[in-house]
Each structure stands twice: as C-alpha cells, then as structure tokens.
Structure 1
Amino acid sequence: MTEYFTVTRALRAPRELVFEALTKPEHFAVWFGTAAVEVPQDSLTMEVRPGGAFRAVMLLPDGNRIDWAGEYQVVDPPSHLAMTLTDQPGDDTGLPVLFDLEEIGDGTVLTIRQDRSDFTDEQVAATIAGYNAFVDDIEDVLETLQTA
C-alpha cells in the first residue's frame, strides 16, 4: 500500500486560477524555484496532458543544479493533477505527486500528496518544508494574477 505525506493550504483565489498557476510555465518557474532558486523558463517542458513530459532545471545559489523530470498522468482541470516527479532523470521514473483543488467559500484548498517511498523521516520533513515554500510562492503568484 502506498503511503503519502500531505501538505494542505487554503488559498484566496478561485481554483481555475490556482490550476493555472500550477500548469502555466511562466507561473510555474516562479513558484517551483521559490525566491531562493532560479528555474529558467527555457529549461521547462510542461506538456500538461496525460502522458505529457515534464522537465525543469533548478539553479541553486551554491552553483549546483537539479534536473527534474516526470510525466503527467491525470489532468482534470481545475480539480486534479497527478504526475510523477524525480530528480534522477534516466535513473528513476519518479514518485507520484498529486495536486487536488477543492473550492471553498472565497477560495481554494490546495492539497499536495507525494508517495513517501523509501524516504527517511528527515527527507519527508525536508520535502514538506519545500512544498510549503512552493505554496508560499504560489500565493504570491496568485496575488499578482488577481491584481493584474
């Protein structure tokens, strides 16, 4: 049985806009890198359809880089997105990452779940912290989109 860890946050934006922030390269590059890491737009491949490829490069402040890859498995706008994600392209097919968007009164509850796989407790904690940083930056993207 697959064990997932979860990050959940209520966002003050309609779920169509949240889904757009998750799936449009110009927004994705902002939040996936967070304020500390650059994700060059030209490094992104986002074929947001079942079977579509995902690729991104993170340029870290220390000069290192992380190559990301995955495949979109389920695309059900604006409520659900499922993909695989790995930082070991070519060696690993990636772990399932699920994004669920639920409408609430004046916004959207975003739930991100990832397969724990063989992660240590420390790796889970670090990944959860990373997802929380992503969601912080998604909130900034959404604020910009809503005031544009």
Structure 2
Amino acid sequence: MSVGLTITRTIAAPPERVFAAWTRPEDFSVWFGGAAIHVPPETVVMDVRVGGRWTAVMRVPDGSAIYWHGRYTEVDPPRRLAFTMDDDPAADTVEPVVVTFAPAAGGTEMRLTQPRDDLTNAQLAQTLLGYNAFFDTMELLLSGRD
C-alpha cells in the first residue's frame, strides 16, 4: 500500500465503542463529514462484513452532494477495519483505508492509514484537514457532549 497519510488519535471511549462509531449508520452519519457537512442517516448503508458494501451521501454547504461508496476488506471487531473508499461512482478503488483500534490510557488509540492513490500533495493536505474535522466531531459524539 502506498501510504498517503496516517492519523493517530486517542478517543475517550473503549475500543468496542469507537469501532461501532465506524460501523453503525446512526453514528457514522453524525461524525462523517464533521460539523460543517450533513450526512443524512438514511443515505448511510453498511453491510459490515468482508466483501460487504457501504455507501454514504455528504450534503456540502454549497448544495452539492458527494456520493461515497466502497467495500469492506477486513472486519475484525474491535481491533481492525479496512475498507475501500471512493467518491467516483464508476470507480472501484483497490487499496483500502485501514483503521486500527487499541486500548490506551484514556480510551482507545485509533490509527487511520489511507493510501495515496492518485491524490496530489494539495489534495492529501485537504484530506488530512477533513479527517481531523471528522474526528473532532467523533470525539464529541463519543464523549456524550454532542
């Protein structure tokens, strides 16, 4: 896998709960996109098993929509989740995003690794900003302060 970016966060919740935030549509729709982007819960479909597909629609502030899709390549609750991710309906990305969950002081160490694929340096920098906004929202969700 050509690593594009790695983000590590400690989330104040047990690994089972953080893993669930990635695999339960009602949680995923809250944090995916961060505070600025709406993901209608009814657009999130998750068949969380190896080979299962997932979809989600982001409604961005300018009124446009981003249609995300992919498939799960590894599902090992609550330790590891790997899935492909693409916003091009005609594409089927091969290299997965990998998220690991490990017990840590104060909760769970969550590490996301995303392949570079064909992203430019500017796109990678924007992706990093986006994920950090998403994970800020996830932290609020899992702390009960949302």
Q: TM-score range by the shorter chain?
A: over 0.9
The residue that corresponds to 2:122 in the other structure is: 122
Cα offsets for 1:75-129 (capped at 9, x unmatched): 000010000000002x211241111111112311110110001211101100011
Kindly indicate whether residue 92 of structure 2 is the aligned counterpart of residue 70 of structure 1: no
Q: In the aligned structure 1, how far is the partner of 2:117 from the partner of 2:35? A: 28
- Segments of 5+ residues of structure 2 without an aligned counterpart are none
Q: For residue 108 of structure 1, give the secondary structure of its aligned residue in structure 2.
A: strand
Offset of 1:138 from its aligned partner?
0.8
Report runs of 4+ in structure 1 exceeding 2 Å deviation: 1-4
Q: For residue 69 of structure 1, give the secondary structure of its aligned residue in structure 2.
A: strand
Aligned residue identity for 2:50? P
Aligned residue identity for 1:124? L
The residue that corresponds to 1:40 in the other structure is: 40
TM-score of the pair, normalised by structure 2: 0.94
Q: In the aligned structure 1, how far is the partner of 2:139 from the partner of 2:106? A: 14
1:1-148 alignment, distance < 5 Å: 2-89=2-89, 91-94=90-93, 95-144=95-144
Q: For residue 33 of structure 1, give the secondary structure of its aligned residue in structure 2.
A: coil
Q: In the aligned structure 2, how far is the partner of 1:131 from the partner of 1:34? A: 8
Q: In the aligned structure 2, how far is the partner of 1:26 from the partner of 1:118? A: 31
Corresponding pairs, count: 144
TM-score of the pair, normalised by structure 1: 0.92
Report if the CA contact (8 A) 2:97-2:115 is conserved. Answer: yes
Q: In the aligned structure 2, how far is the partner of 1:59 from the partner of 1:5? A: 25
Offset of 1:5 from its aligned partner?
1.2
Q: For residue 55 of structure 2, give the secondary structure of its aligned residue in structure 1.
A: strand
- Segments of 5+ residues of structure 1 without an aligned counterpart are none
Q: For residue 117 of structure 1, give the secondary structure of its aligned residue in structure 2.
A: coil
Q: For residue 34 of structure 1, give the secondary structure of its aligned residue in structure 2.
A: coil
Root-mean-square deviation over aligned CA pairs: 1.3
Q: In the aligned structure 1, how far is the partner of 2:3 from the partner of 2:17? A: 29
Q: In the aligned structure 2, how far is the partner of 1:67 from the partner of 1:3? A: 23
